[in-house]
Structure 1
């Protein structure tokens, strides 16, 4: 059997079919028409010059062509990542590019060390709380551009206060255009979702009409931005400009050079370690959220379209994309759900579609930046709001209330604190989820049945925080019974124990024996049995099944007549 190629592109490129080429070209073009206006909008959200959005939109496409394992995924700037960059890069391009480089190094190291399992500790309620809060904060952050307001602070609560206080300063031109763009984007999105699939038996004209509508709805961001730009240009020609424009964007491709590891400041130079300290917890939050977004999107579309991905290879691809991206002045990138959905719906067959998307972005940088001058900021704000509103999941609160109300705690903690600062919300949500997880380990469900003997059945494996709870339950129920009862510990659900548990069981055996009671074990799995036998517990008795242990009920029956497997050696633990 031939070994599997280490480079993912070598798994599909040798068998590339000519029939796939038009589909990959169409998908790459559709994603590119979505990516260019979104890149400009997301750079605005990140607080960076708009060209940095375009700088961040092409390297991921080329890297993923070689290293990605999901045919649908596209890498680039996203609303969530732009929000995080805004928080941790302080609107400084040097910080943003260095953050991309360091995030890529962390992601690459996690992929090489197979540490992707760490993402499993970020629970679904935490993710939903973060994305729902981000949807609101990002949307409200763009209200100032819809209304044409200047000088609005970044912090959410101050933002709300200042926007409401200064709403009388709204520029009518920006507001009308922004709302019109929002309405157009919503209408085109609804049109696409309701568009029936044209059957091959239908007339050619009907199929062409459906395809035109589908392309228009898919490229809605580009069409709306183009229309808004034409409106702004018309006003400029007439000599009046009621709109706030994007302004000049430098033309040309970014230089290929390493990121800067220091920054000139008015009072001297900010060294590398000071920049790292300034970014602080962002060096954990940004790479982890990037990985989480990419893996979640890749898994979702792989499951939907019937193929498998390699999570660790995805970590490597994202890490290398961010490292190489930092050499072309990119800020941190990740998988984009919206553009990946466009890619999948366009019928993409391989990651080769990303080459077309990347080439389209490069062409825009090389030849079209002069036209971006006339794009109104209100139109870009509408593009961002249209992209993030679907991220708010109102139903998750109702679902968790119905399914498991305790999971509302990390959801609400994350959701509320993210309005204060994103990093506090994510860290607090992970900590609360961790505490709930540890509590379930420390207090496992214990079923107690009373009869001639006390049958105790832990509902999960026993680890060191749980042994005191088990001891207290057994002693309180066994000794409080009238008369006191011996105990059978049914271990059928216990797959592992640790040394502290062994010590606690030895102490429990001694305590029951002082009161003339016995403790027998049944249903032990082999790994657990080997640990207990190796510990040489004094008076240790175990039976193959609960029924056999119950037949030997009563301490007077647990003697040599039943010939159980008994260890009578002295315990070295007590």
Structure 2
């Protein structure tokens, strides 16, 4: 046996340098060809009798400090087994459901309790501060912070104005709707949001997602007004869902879109968005409503067989190169951070002047033409809440709400972690929801946090959400006085601005990291990618979510098992595959199920694996391949991983017990959780195994060897 003097450094190396774990494919193939540690490696020894725990019940009372000290000094393994067997009854299903409801309401309840004992005026102020965080951080706001926010706000406005026009065209809306979306939502977020850096407005992915689903209900080319009404209605539902997620603390719904799925989805959407911009870059008049790559490439190929003007392509590519070079210079020299931010606006100004002075619109260059001026008009009367498509539009709103929240929260948390402050996820959802609800009333479509503009906002040194207010005011001025100057803006420039923002959405390093770490996550990633690329945006999302759920189900129904051995110099029992130096106990098979739930889906799989191991052990004994003639006499099930068990799991354990008895083998269980031991007692399974229930694996082993195994190891 190994010495107990193993030092801490050696034990740390065991953890840091284990053998390479089996891959996913090997794990899933193990059912037919068992690849795990063979029970033939376990050294047999003479069977011993268990020390049975007494059936006396312990009083279920909270011990005093003195009683705890006395228990720590004088408790025996038999007493500790009774602690497991005679614990209080765990909470039932109804109690757990009510706990969940109470937890959801506890935040509001605690706030209400704290406010109830305060003076009325102070309570009103506290409620307002809770809803509007600007009332908290605004008290310490000063002129120094405003200088930074002013510069950051003007910088992101120079990027926001051309992007907003471009994203509106991507969403198949009139250009002014993009500018409207950069006014009201940022103003509302500035007073309700908790992120200091996030820049609010239209984004590329949402601008693609909306038309990809809504144009199936209404063709924007046939009736643009009806299409716009559906977009605004979808925005209203998006806000309702987002606010509900925050109100009822349902942020976990966003997690249904895993990190890997989002990476693949965004990468596929970036390529689709890029292909969509070929319409403006090449000046194509007729373009398909389908977003898949095949339909788009067919339209592009067909356009070359008709007379077309290369001026759009030359102009767009020239300014695309200018924007990319500006971005490169901004990365090389931190002092030029403003250059990539103002490059899109400079491109719009210069290209508009070129087209105006040369009358390029008379020579085939496509231009934006009229942009409606003035502030956001009311759109309450445009919402189709009683129309025939209200159910379908609500589904669109739910999907867009999840995608928009995922992007915004990911962006916000990225920068809040850099600055070292907490961003309240539920408040963020409330702020996003409320700004989209009000936005739908003021001619805005779905707004969320933009990664590119947020990065510029951070680089420009923003201090608070006031930078969003500065940006919104700048856009208001543009809507009031500058829209007529944008009449001659070429659509090729808007396409080049959108194209310049896409490389950051395709992150090959993240894709490689996902492949390296988890192959099933990579499958979800490429599933979303190819689903978006060759089918549609919603199909890509559906594929990603389906693969992610399939992964969870496969892990649940094929959990695998591991054999345990004692780690030298410790009282720990660990997986012998991960720790080859772990000592296998003679005559004892210690098994741990790698699942939190032992249920109908996986119980039979685990039982058959254990039975096969016993059969293989018996065959090895018959052939004399073991070091001793005695076979395994004890199987210990370590239940420390199991959170719960159902009736199918209990029935399977009973079948396993019968199989083991027929082979002359005893069964014991160690460290069962609260719900598990309660159900095993109710089903009388504890009596069927002779009460062999122990707090730890070590005590189960000691009991079978009369307490001598601890000194032997």
TM-score when scaled to structure 2?
A: 0.71
Match of 1:326 among 440, 448, 458: 440
**Contact conserved, 2:327 with 2:339, CA < 8 A, in 1?**
no
The 3-state SS of whatever aligns with 1:246 is: coil
Match of 1:459 in 2: 594
Q: Is 1:474 equivalent to 2:610 in the alignment?
A: yes
Match of 2:189 in 1: 64
Unaligned ranges ≥5, structure 2 = 1-113, 116-125, 221-226, 565-583, 619-630
Hey, what's the Cα distance between the residues in 2 that align with 1:65 and 1:400?
A: 35
Structure 1 residues 9 and 497, CA gap change in structure 2 (3 angstroms): farther
Match of 2:209 in 1: 84
Match of 1:235 in 2: 358
Q: Is 1:126 equivalent to 2:126 in the alignment?
A: no
Superimposed CA distance per residue, residues 26-66 of structure 1 (whole angstroms, 9 cap, x where no aligned partner): 11111111111111000110111111111111111111111
Unaligned ranges ≥5, structure 1 = 197-209, 263-270, 563-574
Q: Is 1:173 equivalent to 2:173 in the alignment?
A: no
Structure 1 residues 123 and 383, CA gap change in structure 2 (3 angstroms): same
The 3-state SS of whatever aligns with 2:368 is: coil
**Contact conserved, 1:139 with 1:389, CA < 8 A, in 2?**
no
Match of 2:346 in 1: 223
Hey, what's the Cα distance between the residues in 2 that align with 1:184 and 1:195?
A: 16
**Contact conserved, 1:94 with 1:259, CA < 8 A, in 2?**
no
Deviates further, 511-520 or 364-373? 511-520
Hey, what's the Cα distance between the residues in 2 that align with 1:391 and 1:170?
A: 31
**Contact conserved, 1:259 with 1:326, CA < 8 A, in 2?**
no
Hey, what's the Cα distance between the residues in 2 that align with 1:440 and 1:523?
A: 22
Per-residue deviation at 1:504? 3.4
The 3-state SS of whatever aligns with 2:380 is: coil
Match of 2:144 in 1: 19
Match of 1:406 in 2: 520
Match of 1:568 in 2: none
Per-residue deviation at 1:509? 2.9
Q: Is 1:34 equivalent to 2:159 in the alignment?
A: yes
Hey, what's the Cα distance between the residues in 2 that align with 1:239 and 1:311?
A: 48
Hey, what's the Cα distance between the residues in 2 that align with 1:493 and 1:462?
A: 8
Structure 1 residues 239 and 256, CA gap change in structure 2 (3 angstroms): closer
4+ residue runs over 6 A deviation:
1-4
Match of 2:174 in 1: 49
Structure 1 residues 239 and 158, CA gap change in structure 2 (3 angstroms): closer
Match of 2:280 in 1: 145
Give the aligned length. Answer: 534
Q: Is 1:522 equivalent to 2:670 in the alignment?
A: yes
Superimposed CA distance per residue, residues 485-527 of structure 1 (whole angstroms, 9 cap, x where no aligned partner): 4311122333444554344334433443355432101233456
**Contact conserved, 2:355 with 2:361, CA < 8 A, in 1?**
no
The 3-state SS of whatever aligns with 2:136 is: helix
Hey, what's the Cα distance between the residues in 2 that align with 1:81 and 1:257?
A: 20
**Contact conserved, 2:361 with 2:367, CA < 8 A, in 1?**
no
Superimposed CA distance per residue, residues 239-259 of structure 1 (whole angstroms, 9 cap, x where no aligned partner): 944421101111212323415
Hey, what's the Cα distance between the residues in 1 that align with 2:318 and 2:598?
A: 60
Match of 2:300 in 1: 163
Match of 1:379 in 2: 493
Hey, what's the Cα distance between the residues in 2 that align with 1:113 and 1:142?
A: 40
Q: Is 1:255 equivalent to 2:365 in the alignment?
A: no
Deviates further, 398-407 or 83-92? 398-407
The 3-state SS of whatever aligns with 2:237 is: helix
Superimposed CA distance per residue, residues 522-570 of structure 1 (whole angstroms, 9 cap, x where no aligned partner): 233456445544554222412233233224448xx89xxx9xxxxxxxx
Residues 493-508 of structure 1 mapped to structure 2, 5 A cutoff: 493-498=641-646, 500-508=648-656
TM-score when scaled to structure 1?
A: 0.87
Hey, what's the Cα distance between the residues in 2 that align with 1:259 and 1:81?
A: 24
**Contact conserved, 1:455 with 1:487, CA < 8 A, in 2?**
yes
Hey, what's the Cα distance between the residues in 2 that align with 1:502 and 1:358?
A: 62
Structure 1 residues 304 and 510, CA gap change in structure 2 (3 angstroms): same
**Contact conserved, 2:407 with 2:449, CA < 8 A, in 1?**
yes
Match of 2:450 in 1: 336
**Contact conserved, 1:235 with 1:241, CA < 8 A, in 2?**
no
Match of 2:428 among 314, 317, 323: 314
The 3-state SS of whatever aligns with 1:19 is: helix
Match of 1:193 in 2: 331
Superimposed CA distance per residue, residues 433-453 of structure 1 (whole angstroms, 9 cap, x where no aligned partner): 101111112222311367412
Structure 1 residues 433 and 63, CA gap change in structure 2 (3 angstroms): same
Hey, what's the Cα distance between the residues in 2 that align with 1:292 and 1:194?
A: 31
**Contact conserved, 1:60 with 1:74, CA < 8 A, in 2?**
no
Per-residue deviation at 1:479? 4.1
Match of 2:634 in 1: 486
Hey, what's the Cα distance between the residues in 2 that align with 1:80 and 1:338?
A: 12
**Contact conserved, 1:149 with 1:171, CA < 8 A, in 2?**
no
Per-residue deviation at 1:360? 1.1
Match of 1:73 in 2: 198
**Contact conserved, 1:98 with 1:259, CA < 8 A, in 2?**
no
The 3-state SS of whatever aligns with 2:668 is: strand
**Contact conserved, 2:264 with 2:529, CA < 8 A, in 1?**
yes
Per-residue deviation at 1:175? 0.9
Structure 1 residues 56 and 89, CA gap change in structure 2 (3 angstroms): farther
Structure 1 residues 397 and 170, CA gap change in structure 2 (3 angstroms): farther
**Contact conserved, 1:478 with 1:485, CA < 8 A, in 2?**
no
**Contact conserved, 2:598 with 2:645, CA < 8 A, in 1?**
yes
Q: Is 1:426 equivalent to 2:528 in the alignment?
A: no
Q: Is 1:9 equivalent to 2:134 in the alignment?
A: yes
Structure 1 residues 422 and 542, CA gap change in structure 2 (3 angstroms): same
Match of 2:30 in 1: none
Hey, what's the Cα distance between the residues in 2 that align with 1:362 and 1:226?
A: 18
The 3-state SS of whatever aligns with 1:314 is: helix
Match of 1:446 in 2: 561
Hey, what's the Cα distance between the residues in 2 that align with 1:18 and 1:251?
A: 33
Structure 1 residues 164 and 56, CA gap change in structure 2 (3 angstroms): same
